[in-house]
Structure 1
Amino acid sequence: MEELLHVANLVANKLNSHWEGPLEERLTLQALKVSEEAGELAQAVIGARGINPNKGHSHTWDDVRAEACDTALTALVTLHMLGGDPAAFLAEHLRTIRAKAENWEARA
């Protein structure tokens, strides 16, 4: 997890160093980038399942895994760009999700 957060911080810093526009605009575009990556993940799943009759099996499940990684990293880059302490925010949010998940009822 530490390496993931380090890479997200590195990417965020590199992107920010090339941005000359208003911060709010950069954050908006970065959030949209997460959606773009999620779309590529969906496209890879469709390709791995062979659902599109025009394309058939155009992706592998390794492609899906790679797109999932890209989506996760892009979301973490966004978290870093929002400032504050991304690692602490993420840790606290994960604790909240964990507590909820531990209380989910198992389905029979």
Structure 2
Amino acid sequence: MEETWDTVRRLVAWLDAESAAASPEVARLLRVLKISEEAGEVAEAVHGVMGGNPRKGASHTWADVERELCDVVLTAMVALASLTPDARKRFEEHVSYVADRSLG
């Protein structure tokens, strides 16, 4: 998992460099909002799998849904790492909290 968080840190640094025109506050806000955009793409893919849009029919596969879910997870990790320098620790603490609460 450390390699994944290293990649997330590199992505945050790249986004920071590419988003130089936006203030840090705006850049963080946009990264959090990006999660909703990605979640919408998951919903679109699920509709595509289920043929929910009669005009498009079955336009996606479950593999498409998996890829879109990965985009949501990665986007959330980048947003979290943009908010706190110790995103990995914060995430691990939260996973532990949820596991303790849910699993006993």
Q: TM-score, normalised by structure 2?
A: 0.92
- Aligned residue for 2:4? 4
Q: What RMSD, in angstroms, separates the aligned Cα atoms of the two structures?
A: 1.1
- Aligned residue for 1:61? 62
Matches within 5 A, 1:1-108: 1-20=1-20, 21-103=22-104
Larger proportion of helix? 2
- Gapped runs of 5+ residues in structure 1? 104-108
| SS class of match (2:73) | helix
Measured after TM superposition, the shift of residue 19 of structure 1 is 1.7
Residue-pair matches, total: 103
CA distance in structure 2 between the partners assigned to 1:49 and 1:101 by the alignment: 31
CA distance in structure 2 between the partners assigned to 1:22 and 1:73 by the alignment: 22
Query: Would you say the 8 A contact 1:8–1:74 is kept in 2?
Result: no
CA distance in structure 2 between the partners assigned to 1:70 and 1:29 by the alignment: 15
CA distance in structure 2 between the partners assigned to 1:29 and 1:69 by the alignment: 19
CA distance in structure 2 between the partners assigned to 1:32 and 1:25 by the alignment: 10
- Gapped runs of 5+ residues in structure 2? none
Measured after TM superposition, the shift of residue 100 of structure 1 is 1.7
Q: TM-score, normalised by structure 1?
A: 0.89
CA distance in structure 1 between the partners assigned to 2:43 and 2:28 by the alignment: 23
| SS class of match (1:62) | helix
Measured after TM superposition, the shift of residue 2 of structure 1 is 2.3
